[in-house]
């Protein structure tokens, strides 16, 4: 089990040291289809991208597309933070980017379809508001792809 209280004191201080006011008034989009009819995408802030794509910079609000049929061995990570464990992700891509689990749900008829493209940001070194522009661009791309909903995974 890991809670903030279980982390070293310097790690706790870092994670709780920022005041993070709400980003704005509450937002809510009600899905219009049941899950079994939805088209889903994965979005992570783990700093993932295809081998050969530009690496994420030290602080970087941009994003990288990950085609749905990308093989796990073609995906690498260039995240600036050194304060999280990478060894689990080395063992299993699904620990951070659960693409195989999504394919299994699709095969079981639990999901309608998967997006043609998933996306990764790199969540380090910037205030939350720095992701507003990239998120708006990705929202447009998701709509072009007829995506209904997204599962977001941090790292």
Partner 1 sequence: MSALGYYLERAGIATTGISLVREHTAQLRPPRSLWVSFPLGRPLGIPNDAEFQHAVIKAALELFEEASGPVLRDYPIDAPEVAIESAPACPVNFQRQSGSWQDRLASELSLTSPWYEIGLDKRAGRTLVGASTSHIHEILQRFGEDLDAHRIPADLKWFKASIEDAKTYYLEALSAEPGRHNARQLYRKLWHETELGRALGLFHAMFMDHPQRAGFARILLPRDAQSSIDDTMN
Contact (Cβ atoms closer than 8 angstroms) between residue 124 and residue 80: yes
152 near partner 1, judged by CB under 8 A:
yes
How long is the chain? 155
Distance, in Å, from the CA atom of 149 to the CA atom of 15, rounded to the nearest integer, reads 29
Coil/strand/helix, residue 95? helix
Contact (Cβ atoms closer than 8 angstroms) between residue 121 and residue 61: yes
Interface residue with partner 1 among 99, 114, 122, 147 (CB under 8 A) is: 147
90 near partner 1, judged by CB under 8 A:
yes
Interface residue with partner 1 among 62, 65, 68, 80 (CB under 8 A) is: 80
73 near partner 1, judged by CB under 8 A:
yes
Q: Nearest Cα to 150, choosing from 76, 90, 75, 63?
A: 63
Interface residue with partner 1 among 37, 67, 92, 146 (CB under 8 A) is: 92
Interface residue with partner 1 among 95, 103, 106, 116 (CB under 8 A) is: 95
27 near partner 1, judged by CB under 8 A:
yes
């Amino acid at each position: 089990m890991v809670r903030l209280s279980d982390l070293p004191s310097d790690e706790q201080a870092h994670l709780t040291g920022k005041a993070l006011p709400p980003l704005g008034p509450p937002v809510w989009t009600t899905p219009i289809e049941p899950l079994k009819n939805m088209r889903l995408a994965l979005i992570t802030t783990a700093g993932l991208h295809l081998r050969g794509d530009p690496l994420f910079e030290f602080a970087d609000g941009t994003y990288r597309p990950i085609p749905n049929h990308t093989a796990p061995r073609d995906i690498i990570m260039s995240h600036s933070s050194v304060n999280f464990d990478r060894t689990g992700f080395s063992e299993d891509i699904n620990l951070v980017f659960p693409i195989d689990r999504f394919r299994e749900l699709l095969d079981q008829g639990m999901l309608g379809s998967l997006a043609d493209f998933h996306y990764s940001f790199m969540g380090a070194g910037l205030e939350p508001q720095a992701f507003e522009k990239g998120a708006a661009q990705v929202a447009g791309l998701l709509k072009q792809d007829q995506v209904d909903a997204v599962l977001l995974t941090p790292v």
